[in-house]
Structure 1
Amino acid sequence: MSKYIWDHPETRFVEFESAKYLADTLEAEGFKVERNVAGISTAFVGTFGEGAPYIGFLGEFDALSGLSQKADVTECESLEGDDVGHGCGHNLLGTGALSSAFAVKAYMEEKSLPGTIQFFGCPGEEGGSGKTFMTRDGIFDHLDIALTWHPSTVNAVMSLSSLANYQVYFRFKGVTSHAAISPHLGRSALDAVELMNVGVNYLREHVIPEARMHYAVTNTGGFSPNVVQADAEVLYLIRAPKVSEVDEIYKRVCKIAEGAALMTETNLTIVFDKACSNYIPNRALEEILFDKLVEVGPGESSEADKTFAKGIWNSLSEVEQDSSVDLMKGFGYSGDGTEFEGKYLCETISPYVATDGILPGSTDVADVSWVVPTAQCTVSTSAIGTQLHTWQMVAQGINSFAHSGMLRAGEAMALTAIQILEDPELLGPIKAEHALKLAKTPYVCPIPEGVKPSGLRS
């Protein structure tokens, strides 16, 4: 299944092949499948059992543009066809979560256990916040717990928070004119985009250090320099540790855009695309997941795996190699990296250490964590030093070490679910912890009503 999804990489909200394949497989395994969930054609839910406890497994399967890459090679080498690839390992993520659902179903049938397990097919994580849209529609509200994982270079529990974000289009409309004969009659939308970007770059000095502002110019107004560009657009992704902080920065960015429109006498349209919250860990659930990860073990790698991993390591820049431990810490690793000296694959499990640290990235799992107690683990599926969203990540996506890690993640999540099913009283402290956090800050979905999921624009 992982290889099929890797072979059919699809970007956000157009994962038609992958979603159908996963949903059809759920049905074949005896799950009742609901498709087109939350009005999203590639979102679906597979359900088995009835009654409490309600346990959900979150699966992703979208890929990234610009990352076409051959498998099992140690140099950048694109495939022919669409320039899309699984640079974040979601072919592994969704399949691993599905393996958990299948394993728990089999166990429930064997032991005649009551309860309900569900696999949530969650599209559009990469730049789409599919789970946030699903959360807005109440898709996860009934769950007692949710479990998921992410491929990486280390084995650990992902106990960190994450950055909330807004993604917003700023569209400028001007007036065309001959750039030489009558430039004074034109009003350049491209000038407005450039002025806005300059303004935001000056703003960077005056926001909190944890904030991030990224942009992509998605419309430059055409390819004719002798025409004053009447249409131009820039897409901004604004991040900060809390939604309230993102919102504050967003309002300042809007003022800069309005200023750019005034300076160029162009009209501005602001289109909210998507958003996600910051992730809130649940320590009581994480402790159970960690115990099961230890029970499963770190796995062993073959000599062929080690040789391939060494080749990947050698393809990395010196800066990437030097930042390999920092990358692991972003996934919950708590050591100093000394155990990896002279090694190219992680074959240990990092001790569980609850932390107030923040992963300097974003995930729509965060919004699920606000409405239901959620825990995530990470399992080593790639060579030490492998950065996400790179050709190296794609190249390792279907090798034996990646698939071994995927199944270990599935086993750890399945064992966690089984323990909850066999001892539902464990939900007491898990839910109490979750309720305490929400009592201080109730959840508000960061995506306004009326905003709909959007596919990747080329």
Structure 2
Amino acid sequence: MDKQTALDLLDEKQDFLFSVSDSIWDNPETDYTETVSSGILMDALKKEGFTVTSGLAGIPTAFSGSYGSGSPVIGILGEFDALSGLSQKACATEKEALEPGGNGHGCGHNLLGTGSLAAAIAVKEYLKGSKKPGTIIYFGCPAEEGGSAKAFMARDGVFKGVDIALSWHPNQLNSVWAFSTLANVRIHYFFKGVSAHAGTSPHLGRSALDALELMNMGVQFLREHIIPEARIHYAITNTGGDAPNVVQAEAESVYLIRAPKNDQVREIYERVNQIARGAAMMCGVEVEIQLEKACSNILVNHTLEEVLYENMKAVGLPEYTEEEYAFASAI
């Protein structure tokens, strides 16, 4: 089977693949809750003759679908999680939420998992037609947007025995990424204080919100003293209520720290933790620090990138209709 035959095969299956993508779009689920989306992809893999295994690394929505036997063993990563607050009507050129404040696919993850499924099907058909040895494994990877499930899957040996694993992401142009990404960690800070009436007995209270604000201020001063390539982002997720006459007994924030290398992220992470503990001490409250996820920086593989690039050139560029150009222009 040559490349054109594989492409023709996918054209024949386009209605099936579109239905998978549309179904995932219609069921946007955030990290680690992608029960419906993962089920759609697992059912599609079973229909195409793959052997499906669910619950990888103890994660209910992580799964694999394999076909073939022997070497080489090629993995293809599929993602399907959505983002909160991005509910959107399909094919609309302006923001139009289906559910105000609801979930939605902001980075094309409904396409991402489906495109990887298409690639896995094409390789499966090649193995089937050529009768050559080799194994193709589709890895269903949840929580890409904030939970880094692939890191936990790797830690538990899910990718052991795989020769290479390929991934892709929707973009404004067709290209091979020949650069690294920033390593990062995501941390949740829970401040616990003592509530009191702010008018009659404020001296009895210990404000968790004061500690959170002091922490944020401390991190602002820290920015001058870290490498310029690093990034520190945060969101306040709990201010302890909306009553101004009560000393807030709880407050929470989520931090995301990025830097080019793992050890740089680790150093900044420890310094931010020190600021959080110091802020808690200043206000007489407690702080719980919960590391939620971590991602290593990508190690560049120029040899594999060149192979990908040559194959992309052989396939050629997509052709667009006037209707598609008009839609893109409207967006």
2:109 maps to which residue?
A: 90
1:41 maps to which residue?
A: 60
Distance 2:269 2:59 in 1: 27
Distance 2:94 2:108 in 1: 18
Matching residue's letter, 2:164: I
Retained in 1: the 8 A contact 2:85–2:100? no
Identity of aligned residues (%): 59
1:20 maps to which residue?
A: 39
1:128 maps onto 2:147 in alignment: yes
1:236 maps onto 2:255 in alignment: yes
Residues 80, 172 of structure 1: CA spacing in aligned structure 2 closer, same or farther, 3 A cutoff? closer
Distance 1:245 1:265 in 2: 30
Distance 2:188 2:91 in 1: 38
1:105 maps onto 2:133 in alignment: no
Distance 1:293 1:182 in 2: 70
Q: Per-residue displacement from partner, 1:332-385 (whole Å, max 9, x unpaired)?
A: xxxxxxxxxxxxxxxxxxxxxxxxxxxxxxxxxxxxxxxxxxxxxxxxxxxxxx
The number of residue pairs the alignment matches comes to: 312
1:207 maps to which residue?
A: 226
Normalised TM-score (structure 2):
0.92
Select between 165-174 and 75-84 the one with higher mean Cα deviation: 75-84
Normalised TM-score (structure 1):
0.67
2:77 maps to which residue?
A: 58
Distance 1:175 1:251 in 2: 27
Q: 1:154 aligns with which of 163, 173, 192?
A: 173
Unaligned runs of 5+ in 1: 313-458
Q: Per-residue displacement from partner, 1:147-185 (whole Å, max 9, x unpaired)?
A: 111101011001110011111111111111001000011
- What's the secondary structure of 1:216's corresponding residue? strand
Distance 1:310 1:219 in 2: 40
Distance 2:114 2:60 in 1: 19
Retained in 1: the 8 A contact 2:86–2:101? no
Q: Per-residue displacement from partner, 1:65-108 (whole Å, max 9, x unpaired)?
A: 11111222222111136611110111111111111111111111
Where in structure 1 do 4 or more consecutive aligned residues deviate above 3 Å? Answer: none
- 1:62 Cα offset (Å): 0.4
2:88 maps to which residue?
A: 69
Q: Per-residue displacement from partner, 1:13-39 (whole Å, max 9, x unpaired)?
A: 101111001011111211111100000
- What's the secondary structure of 1:126's corresponding residue? coil
Distance 2:247 2:125 in 1: 65
Distance 2:41 2:180 in 1: 29
Distance 1:102 1:129 in 2: 25
Distance 1:154 1:26 in 2: 28
Select between 54-63 and 81-90 the one with higher mean Cα deviation: 81-90
Distance 1:191 1:63 in 2: 33
Distance 1:23 1:81 in 2: 29
RMSD of aligned Cα (Å):
1.0
Distance 2:287 2:42 in 1: 42
- What's the secondary structure of 1:149's corresponding residue? coil
- What's the secondary structure of 2:247's corresponding residue? coil
Distance 2:218 2:100 in 1: 38
Distance 1:167 1:225 in 2: 30
1:290 maps onto 2:315 in alignment: no
2:274 maps to which residue?
A: 255
Matching residue's letter, 2:309: F
- 1:223 Cα offset (Å): 2.0
Q: Which has the higher contact order (CA 8 A, sep 6+)?
A: 1
Q: Per-residue displacement from partner, 1:272-305 (whole Å, max 9, x unpaired)?
A: 1111100112111111110111111111110011
Q: Per-residue displacement from partner, 1:398-433 (whole Å, max 9, x unpaired)?
A: xxxxxxxxxxxxxxxxxxxxxxxxxxxxxxxxxxxx
- What's the secondary structure of 2:217's corresponding residue? helix
1:385 maps to which residue?
A: none
Correspondences of 1:34-433 after superposition (within 5 Å): 34-80=53-99, 83-312=102-331
Unaligned runs of 5+ in 2: 1-19
Matching residue's letter, 1:23: M
- What's the secondary structure of 2:170's corresponding residue? strand
- What's the secondary structure of 1:152's corresponding residue? coil
Distance 1:215 1:81 in 2: 23
- What's the secondary structure of 2:151's corresponding residue? helix
